Amino acid sequence: MSTIHVANLSPAIHGDMLRSIFAHFGPIADIRLISGQGPASYAFVEFSTSDAAVKALAMSGSEFDGRALRVELANQKGGGGAVPPANPQALSAELFVGGLAPSITGDMLRMHFSRWGAVQEANVMTHRQTGVSKGFGFVRLQSHDQALACVGGAPHIIEGRTLNVELSNLGKNAAGMPPQAPAPRKRKHSVDTGEGDGRGLCVQQLFDAAPALEAYAQKVEADTHATCGAFGSIRSIGVPRPKVSGLAVWVEFDESRAARAAAASLASRTYDGRTLGVRVVDSGAARRGAAEAAAPSDGDTERLREKARFEADQSRLLQRRVEDLESELESVRASAKKDRDFQKQRIQALVQRVAALEGGGI
């Protein structure tokens, strides 16, 4: 048995990265990334020797890109076909848990879900650099039936948060469940607020007025990309320009799951003191929203021009005031110098007068 099954992969991990992770255990004959839709959720690594595969099991639990890898030996099918995991029943019992509060830990997940069966694993996904929760995690029970019973036991509430609990992509693949077809896209000229294919995200209160508008827009865009990019591949981000307040930021993902995970993580977060409002939308709505945010109306353009003229006038007035104050300061300095010179001359005269009087007395 020279093949291992590697589960709980981050969407960012690719074949070359897996090769670099496992190559030091022995020569690798083949790497296969398995996915239903979007990025791979698990993989098979085939070594030249069974001894290397056994040694590679030591990587189980190691964290890469915020996820703890699950590594186990895989069974070979006769005839050189696909390589199923050694325990597909266990893999089909994995749950995706979204909407986690930042304070929720793996132990709290384990305690909550233990009522549906013995919990084999319970992990909260965290940001690699900060260790802060991403707002979602994975729980693995003993059997697929237990996982289905748990999904049917909604609502699941921890720390006052209603959680989004469903079979993970790995669980669906292992159970042989077909992927859900995306909902048909709606064709509308106005921004559609329905979920549709669920690949878009609308974030309210993320962007607001700022003195340096373009610089702030760039900051919001960079922060949005860094935060949302942790959940999956992003196609586009729309930040309102050149409007200045009260507008939504629109994000389009490659996968609906990434949008749902990002929405669960961002719910009730704050940004620059503002509480965010987040909803999942159709990808077309996200693109249209971004386009409308970027295109100012005639009224917006004229208002911005008027604001620019006003600020230019204020700048000129301030410059004149600064020049007047500098002139006054120079006058005060010159007057003070004259006064010092006068006082110095007066003191010298008094000293000479005293010396003369003392000399006459002798």
pLDDT (tens digit per residue) in 106-141? 889 999 999 999 988 888 877 656 777 878 888 888
Query: SS3 helix, strand, coil % of the chain, rounded to 5?
Result: 40, 20, 35
**Chain centroid to CA 246:** 21
Answer yes or no: do 79 and 94 share one domain.
Answer: no
- CA dist 293 and 199 (Å) reads 19
- Taking residue 197's Cβ as centre, other Cβ atoms within 10 Å add up to 20
117 lies in some domain: yes
Report pLDDT for 211. 45
Tell me how many domains the chain contains: 4
Confirm if 41 and 170 have CB atoms less than 8 A apart: yes
Answer yes or no: do 95 and 156 share one domain.
Answer: yes
Answer yes or no: do 37 and 67 share one domain.
Answer: yes
191 lies in some domain: no
The reply to whether the predicted model has a pTM over 0.85 is: no
303 lies in some domain: no
Q: Per DSSP, what are the bridge partners of residue 279?
A: 202
Answer yes or no: do 167 and 253 share one domain.
Answer: no
Confirm if 175 and 237 have CB atoms less than 8 A apart: no
Report pLDDT for 273. 60
Answer yes or no: do 271 and 219 share one domain.
Answer: yes
184 lies in some domain: no
Answer yes or no: do 235 and 213 share one domain.
Answer: yes
Phi-psi region of 55 (alpha: psi -120 to 50; beta: other; left: phi over 0): alpha
- CA dist 166 and 97 (Å) reads 7
Low-confidence ranges of the chain (pLDDT < 70): 1, 12, 34-41, 65-66, 75-91, 127-129, 169-171, 173-196, 201, 204-215, 240-247, 267-274, 292-305, 307, 360-362
Residue 334 phi, psi (nearest 5): -65, -40
247 lies in some domain: yes
State the DSSP H helix or E strand holding residue 140, giving kind and residue range, or none if neither: strand 133-140
- CA dist 299 and 305 (Å) reads 10
Quick one: DSSP state of residue 146?
H
**Domain C-terminal end among 55, 86, 117:** 86
- CA dist 77 and 164 (Å) reads 36
Q: Which whole-number Å values give the CA distances from 58 to 6, 7, 20, 27, 33, in the listed order?
A: 12, 14, 15, 16, 20
Answer yes or no: do 82 and 93 share one domain.
Answer: no
- Upper half-sphere CA count for residue 336 (Cβ side, 13 Å): 6
Report pLDDT for 113. 93
Q: Per DSSP, what are the bridge partners of residue 70?
A: 7
Single-letter code of the amino acid located at 143: S
**Domain C-terminal end among 86, 105, 121:** 86
Confirm if 121 and 70 have CB atoms less than 8 A apart: yes
Answer yes or no: do 104 and 79 share one domain.
Answer: no
319 lies in some domain: yes
Report pLDDT for 191. 39
**Residue 295 is encoded by which pair of tokens?**
């295109």
CATH number, domain with residue 125: 3.30.70.330
Answer yes or no: do 282 and 335 share one domain.
Answer: no
111 lies in some domain: yes
**Residue 107 is encoded by which pair of tokens?**
């132990």
Answer yes or no: do 218 and 230 share one domain.
Answer: yes
**Structural domain containing residue 80:** 3-86
Answer yes or no: do 288 and 347 share one domain.
Answer: no
- CA dist 19 and 30 (Å) reads 9
Answer yes or no: do 125 and 81 share one domain.
Answer: no
Closest CA relative to residue 7, chosen from 91, 75, 128: 91
**Domain C-terminal end among 52, 71, 86:** 86
180 lies in some domain: no
